[in-house]
Chains A and B, each alone.
Chain A
Amino acid sequence: MSNAKERKHAKKMRNQPTNVTLSSGFVADKYVKHHNGGGKPFQRKKQEPHLGTSRQRSVKMSPQLSSEPDVNEQSSSKIMFKKKGGWKAGPEGTSQEIPKYITASTFAQARAAEISAMLKAVTQKSSNSLVFQTLPRHMRRRAMSHNIKRLPRQLQEIAQKEAEKAVHQKKEHSKNKCHKARRCHINRTLAFNHRQRKNIWLETHIWHAKRFHMVKKWGYCLGERPTVKSHRACYRAMTNLCLLQDMSYYCCLELKGQEEEILKALSQMCSIDAGLTFAAVHCLSGKRQGSVVLYRANKYPREMLGPVSFIWKSERTPSDTSENRQLWIWLHPTLKQDILDEIKAVCLCLEPIESSVCIPNPLLTPAQEKSQTGPDDEKISKKRKRKDYQDAKSVKKLIGDGTRDPSQPRSWVSSATGITVSHSIVAKGVLVFQGEADTEETPHHWWIDSCKSSDSVSLHQRQEAVFQLLGGISSPAEIPAGTILGLTVGDPRVNLPQKWSKALPDPERFQDNEKVRQLLLEGVPVECTHSFIWNQDICKSVTENKISDQDLNRMRSELLVPGSQLVLGPRESKIPILLIQQPGKVTGEDRVGWGSGWDVLLPKGWGMAFWIPFIYRGARVGGLKETTVHSQYKRAPNIPADFPDCLAGSRVAKEQAKDLLEMYKRRPPAKRPNYVKLGTVTPFYCPWEQLTQEWESRVQAQEASEASAPGGKESDAPVPGKIHQPSHEASREPEEGNERVLDQDASEKLVTATGSQLCVLRNRKLLKQLSVWCGPSSKDRRTPCRGHQDLTREACLSILAHFPRALVWVSLSLLRKGSPEPHTMICVPTKEDLLQLGQDQHYCGPQESRHSDPFKSMILKAKEKKKMAKKQNQGATSSEALAPGAPATGQEALTLGLWSGPLPEVTTHCSRTLLGFVTQGDFSMAVGCGEALGFVSVTGLLDMLASQPATTRGLVLLRPPASLQYRFARMAIEV
């Protein structure tokens, strides 16, 4: 019987009387241990009197007779009624004699005891039912469950007791208001505000909360994944249709000031090696969005802060460069604090200013703000930093410290539009407002003002024309990456379609259109990137003058012809928005442009107004999980989990490890993989530091042994090839040795300066070189470009000298079976593996042999010790018993199936040498096989590539943490 069933049965029987046999009392004191056995001791005991005494008795009956009644009486009088409803014979019941005569008193005693036992059984309710459930059906009343007075009076007391139990008590309504009052708008808003004290809600929160699994992350409430089954549907939306995501949890930093000043400050934080910086020509003109990886000032390869994207506000007129420029930096909330601090430091902002600037007063116009902060700045700088007076005067403003400013634009990435549709959704969902110079009084003064000048009207018309043209391209990936287009649009709620429909492109309309081709070639003209969204004042007024949904619906209901188009006329809002093209997949050779789309930046408060129309035009909404999938299929690192060298990345990894460990511990030991036996040292996190360190020391050791070996060979071996190499090296030694020493010095300095931190290789030149080397065989392709060296020792060494402990982002695709998962190990295949793969087409891969688990016995021992200690504690309470208990509890931290204590050498722990770890991995629906993304040690990678033959270069083995099977995968570095 299962344990639960037993318990249930025991509960039911706890008040029932137990059997009373004559033997039970006797057995109870003689065989204490077999108390429950009943049967066995009974038999044994039986034998004694029958074999031995039965005859005796027949003979010696008379002498016993006199004493027997007494003994009998004694024994039976000791029969006590046990509390549990059982019987118990007293300890004096040692008389092995059978009661010969029944006296009236014993008889009466026995009856009385039985009566009381039965009474107990009858009166006490032993089932799980409530009192009124014991009543016969005709006596039950509906109100009994809550009104005790409905019960028969005798039962009321028991029912009272029952009702006082916590389980049956009603949940208290803490609010003193009635339901209707609580649902009233003001109170609801208050309650909502109260509920988002800790984690801020997005504007679309309520919409999401009804349809998504919500998680509290990074100070926001975010939708993690839809509650409907939609993995594949979301993938289809990414490739063919449109996937919509609310990205307004991204933070925006605004920098204002003179162009040179900003560039000078920010140039310290990024390096030209890692790609385009803030000063890229296209970005600086405000035509394109740029993305860049920020580092701590002047610490380029190390101390990464995080990836950001940025847009410059375009200058209206190219002549006035002295004008203050505006820069928006978009970044992930986890990176915000670090980057903000660093930017403050770089821009020489002083603490008090920031506090005044970062929480902008919504009542101030920008001009006022500027004038206010200007003197502030001066005062403080005078006080504190006289030297930097000049610098401080060029005001740099930081906005966006508060999680969301009232004037902050919100962004949505309708990423993935892969193709047209998203884009046609954008095109249809947002109808461009026709600008007319209307002099009527409307709340939208700014629009009228701007319409007064013919300049802006013409600009608006041009923007509209460009937007119409965008309908002609088949994919947003066709236009230049990061293109920005500013627009002013009408209220999208007004022309909301009646029904949900898919917006499909109609390329016929735009066929052989010269203008479309021109757009594709030249991109959006610079003037068209202008948008009023840059102006805080206008944004604020747009937000404030939004017609509420309630009013809009009322107006709709008042229409003369129900369902006809609502014409608001001049009262219709004009919303400045910004469209930014997302390039999608830019690296690699296949599926270029996959997952491209548009970011839509809206003024605050307009989130839901645009959200619903987008959905009505056929967009599918995704959560955080879809973001991850999107970035995985794009083979792009996911922010912030795939940035192990930045603070936020390591924090996220730690949290994830904690969560996974908790999940692991929640399962019974027999139902979870024993990672020690599987040879997985770190199943929940990736020990990057140790990995890179070990590879560094490995290569150094190799070098040392090689350096000594050729020396010996040079003396005696006459083989010319072998002599040649060392001699060559020897000849170079004087120059190169110096160089290397210098290099090493430099690198050591770097290492000591940064405290042996690891870094991720982002130098584009090196990455390109590595990706060429990683290719299957360099001979198959055309000879590599002039800039690329061959894979030689010298080239490797020069890289290693600069990056002794570096990681590199690689993408892996499995050759045959297998779908990798996060924390999968990337290993170096041995020569035999590759040989076997060449011979056998269906060779899946080698297997890791089972490891032994040295911790299991330790855990068992600890357990036993604990048990012993417990027993000792129970038996004799002494201080000695406590002493062994203490270490046992200390060792309890051991978990069965996990490696404990300091890690062994991770690289050589298994039969194949470890190269790196996978951070994202799954079956890729875009490619049709398992795909993984991860980091490998650069040192290890070079070592592996050098030893592999050219035909099989770039082949690695993957092994998930819970499996012994290695699988072959091809590695590629995509730049």
Chain B
Amino acid sequence: MVRFKHRYLLCEVVSDDSRCRLSLDDRVLVGLGRDTTARVHGTFGAAACSVGFAVRYLNAYTGIVLLLCRKEFYQPLWSALPFITYLENKGHRYPCFFNTLHVGGTIRTCQKFLIQYNRRQLLILLQKCTDEGEREAIQKAVTRSSLLEEEESAEEELSDSAGEATKATE
């Protein structure tokens, strides 16, 4: 097919300040990404990333962000992400950093990765949990997510080959 090829960067916003999550917004994120790329890579980098740069999905509760950019110029953006140290909104700065979880060619592979990742996180949480009430709540969440597992396992086989998945470490 003739189309623009993209790269999707699945990131996690890690912040100590809970107010940071409040100000998580697509416009803020777009501005932040562009500014940082300009700072790190200069005008060329900023221009290269600004075409087709968008936020496809964000979840303030979990801090998951899915960024989109053209395949040819995703590296300037990717390399600029570690240089984001704070989130600025309305004159307030909240220290935070971006943790890139996954770089994929389609939204679908990113979504699949996210499912895996979240599940793993839940299990870790369950292991480390000490409080009884919380343990129950987590268990409920785990069972809820695993109920859908049967469907999902069918899906996994379907197109694992679709995206070239490069797992990024922090």
Contact = CB atoms under 8 A, between A and B. Distances in A.
A103 B61 CA distance: 12
A105 B122 CA distance: 10
Given A23-B22, A122-B115, A155-B158, A79 B61 contact: yes
Nearest to A47: B90
B137 A19 contact: no
A122 B152 contact: yes
Given A111-B118, A112-B144, A135-B158, A119 B138 contact: no
Nearest to A105: B137
B43 interface: no
B165 interface: no
Nearest to B63: A110
A114 interface: yes
A151 B125 CA distance: 39
Contacts of B24: 21-22
Contact of B60 (A17, A20, A39, A136): A20
Contact of B145 (A17, A87, A116): A116
A108 B141 contact: yes
Interface string A89-112: 000000000111111111111111
Interface string A67-97: 0000000001001000000010000000000
Contact of B162 (A18, A87, A136): A136
A104 B90 CA distance: 30
Contacts of B154: 123, 154
A123 B24 CA distance: 28
A19 B125 CA distance: 24
Interface residues of B, number: 49
B141 A19 contact: no
Interface stretch (B45-53, B77-85, B128-136): B128-136
A239 interface: no
Contacts of A154: 154, 157-158
A22 B114 contact: no
B142 interface: yes
Contact of B22 (A98, A119, A135): A98
Contacts of B62: 107, 110-111, 114
Contacts of A39: 27
A801 interface: no
A111 B143 CA distance: 12
Nearest to B114: A118
A123 B107 CA distance: 13
A46 interface: yes
Contacts of A46: 90
B59 to A, nearest CB: 4
B87 to A, nearest CB: 13
Contacts of A116: 144-145, 148
A107 B125 contact: yes
Contacts of B118: 111-112, 114-115, 118
A50 interface: yes
Contact of B159 (A110, A113, A136): A136
Nearest to A120: B148
A434 interface: no
Contacts of A107: 62, 125
Interface string B21-48: 1101111000000000000000000000
Interface centre among A99, A100, A108, A135 (most CB of B within 10 A): A108
A19 B159 CA distance: 25
B57 A122 contact: no
Interface string A116-141: 10110111000000000011100000
Contacts of A134: 158-159
A115 B131 contact: no
A22 B22 contact: yes
29 contacts: A19-B26, A22-B61, A42-B25, A79-B61, A87-B59, A98-B18, A99-B18, A99-B21, A101-B18, A103-B134, A104-B125, A105-B133, A106-B61, A107-B125, A110-B59, A111-B141, A112-B141, A112-B144, A112-B145, A115-B119, A116-B148, A118-B112, A119-B145, A122-B108, A123-B154, A123-B155, A135-B158, A152-B157, A154-B158
Given A21-B25, A108-B138, A116-B144, 8 more contacts: A17-B57, A79-B61, A108-B125, A111-B141, A112-B118, A112-B122, A119-B145, A136-B161
Enumerate the 7 nearest inter-chain pairs by beta-carbon distance, A residue then B residue, closest first: A105-B137, A112-B141, A110-B61, A108-B141, A154-B154, A108-B138, A115-B145
Interface of A: 16-23, 39, 42, 46, 50, 76, 79, 87, 98-116, 118-119, 121-123, 134-136, 152, 154-155
